[in-house]
Amino acid sequence: MNLEFSDDQKFLQEEARKFFDKEGGLNNARKVMDEATEFDLELWSKIVALGWTGIRIPEDYDGLGLGHLELCVIAEELGRSLAPVPFASSVYMFTEAIIQHGNEDIKKAVLPGLVSGEHVGTYGIAEELSQPTELNVKTNVQNNKINGCKIAVPDAGVASHLVVVVKSDQGIDLRLVDLADPSVTITPQKNVDTSKAFFKVEFNDTPSQLVGKEGEGWHLMQHLLDQAAVLFAFEQVGGSQASLDMAKSYAMERFAFGRQIGSYQAIKHKLADMYISITLAKSNCYYGAWALSSDSSELPLAAATARVSATKAFQLCSKENIQTHGGNGFTWEYDCHLFYKRSKVLSVILGAESTWKEKLIKSLEKTNTLIKE
C-alpha cells in the first residue's frame, strides 16, 4: 500500500510553496482586493512560465503530459497562498474539458495557447441564484448560435475561451465559445471575496463549437466537476492548514491574563478540532487523488467525500482563525478575512455542501452493496 505522493511530486509541492512565498504570498490576494484589479496578471504570467498550465496537456500540444497528482500538490499550495489567478477555471475545468472531449481541430486551436499563456479558459454553468440542474438550463443553442446568459462565471474578464452548458434539441450540450466575439457581453459581478472575480456572460447569437457528444453535456460536466472537486479540495486543505498555522502563531504570541492565550484549553481545543478536521479532509483528499489519477469508477464517491470533508474543514478553520484573533481578526489589516472569504467562495463554487452530500449518498446508493438499489 502506498497512499502517498512520490518524491518528485513532493519536490514539486516544495518548489510551488517556495515560489508563492517568494512572489509575495498573501500580499498578492490582498493587493487585488485593495486595488480592485480582479487578477494578478504578473503572477499568472510567472505561473505560465513555470509550465504549470500545461501539466495535463499532452506533449503533442506543447504540454508536459503529466497526471493529475502533480496538479493536486500545486492545488494545495494555491490554496495556502490564495493566489489570485485563473488557475482553477482554466486548468482544472476548461483544459480538462478540451483534453477529454474536444475534437482534433479544437485541441490544435486551443491547447498550445493554454500552455503558452496566450489563452485562458473558464466555464459557465449557473444561470440563477439557485442550484443548476439538467432541467433548469435555459441558455440554448440553435445552428451553433448561443443565446442566453450565465452568471457567476469565474475569471471571464481575463479569459479568452469558455466551455458552456447549454440546452439543445438533443438535451444538454457542452459548447466552446470564443469570448472575444463581439456578440458576447461580459460584466463583472460583485462577490464576497474580491480576491476572486466573477462575471455575467451574455450571449446574443454567439457562434460556438460542440465539445463532446450532443445531448451528453450534463453527464460530461458532472465528470469534470467530480475531477475538479478533488483539486479544489486540495486547495481547501491548503487554505485550512494556513488558517490553522495563523491561529497557532497568534495563540503563541498573544497574552491575556498574564499568559499566552494558547495555554488556555478553550483555545487549545479549538485548534485541536481544526487539526482533526484537516486530517480527515486531507486523508479523504488522498483517496480522491488516487481515484482521480487512476481513473477509478470510485471517483464520484471519492470526489464527493473529499469535497464535503474539505469544505467543512476550510470553513471551520477560517472562521475559528478569526475567533482566535479576537477583535484583530475582524480588521481588514489582519489576513484572517482573506481565508474566511475564500473558504466561502470555494464552498459554493462547484455546488454547495448539501449538493455534494446528496451526490455522495447517491453514489453510495449506486455502488455500495449494503444499500444498492
- Binding region for another protein (CB under 8 A): 1-5, 69, 244, 248, 251-252, 259-260, 262-265, 267-269, 271-273, 275-276, 279-284, 286-287, 289-290, 293-294, 304-305, 308-309, 312, 354, 357-358, 360-361, 364-365, 368, 370-371
Contacts 24+ apart (CB under 8 A), 346-350: 346/79, 346/232, 346/235, 346/236, 346/239, 346/311, 346/314, 347/311, 347/314, 347/315, 349/88, 349/154, 349/232, 350/225, 350/228, 350/229, 350/232, 350/307
Q: Which three cell numbers stand for residue 127?
A: 444561470
CB of 98 to another protein, least distance (A): 26
**Phi, psi (rounded to 5 degrees) for 272:** -65, -40
> Minimal distance in Å, beta carbon 252 to another protein?
7
Report, in Å, the least distance between residue 329 CB and another protein.
18
For another protein, the closer of residues 275 and 334 by Cβ is: 275
| Residue 6 or 187 with smaller CB distance to another protein | 6
In the complex, what is the shortest distance from the CB of residue 69 to another protein, in angstroms, rounded to a whole number?
7
The owner of cell 481547501 is 236
Question: Which residue, 7 or 333, has its beta carbon nearer to another protein?
Answer: 7
Pick the closer one to another protein by CB: 104 or 373. Answer: 373
Q: Give how far Cα 116 sits from Cα of 20, 49, 154, Å.
A: 20, 8, 21
Quote the CA–CA distance of 327 and 318 in Å, as a whole number.
15
Give the residue with the Cβ less far from another protein, 72 or 158.
72
- The grid coordinates listed for 227 are 475531477
* Closest CB 9 distance from another protein, rounded Å: 9
